[in-house]
Amino acid sequence: MIDIKFLRENPEAVKENIRKKFQDNKLPLVDEVIELDKKSREAKGKADMLRANRNKLSKQIGALYGQGKKEEAEQLKVQVQAQGEELESLEAQEAELSEKVTKIMMVIPNIIDSQVPIGKDDSQNVEVERFGEPIVPDYEIPYHTEIMEKFDGIDLDSARKVAGNGFYYLMGDIARLHSAVISYARDFMINRGFTYCVPPFMIRSNVVTGVMSFAEMDAMMYKIEGEDLYLIGTSEHSMIGKFIDTMINENELPKTLTSYSPCFRKEKGAHGIEERGVYRIHQFEKQEMIVVCKPEESKMWFDKLWQNTVDLFRSLDIPVRTLECCSGDLADLKVRSIDVEAWSPRQKKYFEVGSCSNLGDAQARRLKIRVKSKDGKYFAHTLNNTVVAPPRMLIAFLENNLNADGTVNIPEALRPYMGGQEVIK
């Protein structure tokens, strides 16, 4: 959510930003919110004047009673009562207008970074850099579930009976590999100075609306019936929520956390859930990283975060590339986003395995995450990035480490988490 003062003073800049995101249907909202904000401030001004006048009259009433001028005091009391009714009406009007302003501000997109390429959708995202040499072996790479099935490592049929499409049982060495990757990613981030955290796996609605747009919320979140709780779609939501309505001393920044959690997603509008694969699913596990920092440091942290993911994948012999997300592919709260994509030897192309986002002060403004400095108070900047998210990571791992004889190499960095195993047979 952008600053209402900025919108008030720069309406054309806000409109141009909306055009860059190809959301022209939201253009009228700028003028609408300016008008509502004007009325809200007028109502507040009148209410403040009435309060001041009422306080003045109340003092006069006390003085008149003290002087024995009961009749004059009673006349003033009638005025105070009338002004009280008017004040009550103005306060209700102000609250209603303020609520309307906030509701509109929640759907006006954040101002994007100048580095963001302009484009309508993810087909216009721009490749930034490649890391590692993408290799296509001279032997066939089977579909990822076929690789897993050869190790008796996955059971989709049983999962379908138990929970439906979009779920799976991982078994044996494949299940162990899944856990090993998560544990390795945890220690990888701890070694980079991040504090390990296991967050709540459910969050309240005020946290949900604080960390994501309404469109994302509708497409992703599972609601717990009868309770003000949602299953998390990604752990950065509850991690950022940890700082809701807090005042952080500037010398305590940055806050750098890495978390483990299961994640649950409806995947609404995802054109159906694949029956065979585990690329797009309703439930998965994830290692995540978040940063809460000073505004002037958020660009630096953005580059550090995506580099962490690149370094982790390269340590496991997986070639990756980074993509700068275009304006139309950015969620409304995001200032900038870079996707990390892993190489698929089977498909002979890259596919997304992680996403790094800078949200500026949008989440902090919604959640009231403020910083206290010697010069005053301000809203923090928040960032998040995927460290690793099996089973997508397993797809990349198995394809890139598969040998011609069907065995899978275990990179040296992962062997301590696999009981010293060098190969899965």
> Across-strand partners of 411?
none
- What CATH code is carried by the domain that includes residue 63? 1.10.287.40
Pick from 17-26, 149-158, 269-278, 403-412: least confident: 269-278
DSSP for residue 356 = E
Residue 14 vs residue 273, higher pLDDT: 14
In-domain check, residue 116? no
Co-location of 130 and 21 in the same domain: no
Q: Within 13 Å and on the Cβ side, how many CA atoms surround 177? A: 30
Supply the range of the domain harboring residue 359.
122-424
Count structural domains, the chain.
Answer: 2
Co-location of 82 and 203 in the same domain: no
DSSP for residue 91 = H
Co-location of 61 and 164 in the same domain: no
In-domain check, residue 76? yes
Bridge-based pairing state of the strands 222-223 and 230-231: antiparallel
In-domain check, residue 117? no
Mean of the per-residue pLDDT values of the chain: 91
376 conformational bin, left if phi > 0, alpha if psi -120 to 50, beta if neither: left
DSSP for residue 109 = P
**Domain boundary residue, one of 70, 105, 140:** 105
Pick from 21-25, 54-58, 92-96, 149-153: least confident: 54-58
Token match 């900047």: residue?
A: 381
Question: What was the pLDDT predicted at 361?
Answer: 96
- What CATH code is carried by the domain that includes residue 361? 3.30.930.10
Co-location of 362 and 223 in the same domain: yes
Question: What was the pLDDT predicted at 273?
Answer: 53
Question: 251 and 222 in contact (C-beta within 8 Å)?
Answer: no
Summarised one tens digit per residue, pLDDT across range 194-226 is 999 999 999 999 999 999 877 777 778 999 999
Co-location of 54 and 176 in the same domain: no
**Domain boundary residue, one of 55, 72, 105:** 105
**Interatomic CA distance for residues 398 and 409, integer angstroms:** 9
Co-location of 88 and 146 in the same domain: no
Co-location of 45 and 90 in the same domain: yes
% of the chain at pLDDT higher than 90 = 78
Summarised one tens digit per residue, pLDDT across range 329-386 is 999 999 999 999 999 999 999 999 999 999 999 999 999 999 999 999 999 999 999 9
In-domain check, residue 111? no
Burial degree of 31 (CB within 10 A; 0-12, 13-18, 19+)? exposed
**Interatomic CA distance for residues 293 and 113, integer angstroms:** 17
- For the cut 60, the answer to whether the pLDDT of residue 126 exceeds it is yes
Give the helix/strand (H/E) hosting 52: helix 27-66
- For the cut 60, the answer to whether the pLDDT of residue 229 exceeds it is yes
Q: Average of pLDDT values for 108-127?
A: 96
In-domain check, residue 112? no
Handedness of CA 300, 304, 305, 306 (dihedral sign): positive
**Domain boundary residue, one of 52, 75, 105:** 105
In-domain check, residue 113? no
How many other CB atoms are found less than 10 A from the CB of residue 145? 21
**Interatomic CA distance for residues 109 and 267, integer angstroms:** 22
pTM: 0.89
- Collapse the DSSP code of 336 into the 3-class scheme (helix H, G, I; strand E, B; otherwise coil) and give the result: strand
**Interatomic CA distance for residues 65 and 83, integer angstroms:** 20
In-domain check, residue 392? yes
Co-location of 82 and 187 in the same domain: no
Q: Average of pLDDT values for 133-148?
A: 94
Cα–chain-centroid distance for residue 197?
17
Co-location of 78 and 227 in the same domain: no
Q: What is the DSSP string of 377-421?
A: EEEPEEEEEEEE-TTHHHHHHHHHHB-TTS-EE--GGGGGGGTT-
Question: What was the pLDDT predicted at 389?
Answer: 93
- For the cut 70, the answer to whether the pLDDT of residue 144 exceeds it is yes
Q: Among 227, 235, 230, which Cα is nearest to 290's?
A: 235
Co-location of 93 and 168 in the same domain: no
In-domain check, residue 267? yes
Summarised one tens digit per residue, pLDDT across range 4-15 is 999 999 999 999
DSSP for residue 143 = -
Co-location of 248 and 344 in the same domain: yes
For residue 50, CA distances in Å to 41, 72, 88, 182 come to 14, 20, 10, 60
% of the chain at pLDDT higher than 70 = 95
Cα–chain-centroid distance for residue 415?
33
* 51 pLDDT tier (thresholds 50, 70, 90): confident
Residue 215 vs residue 193, higher pLDDT: 193
Q: Which two tokens mark 105?
A: 């501000």
Pick from 179-193, 230-244, 271-285: least confident: 271-285
Co-location of 282 and 400 in the same domain: yes
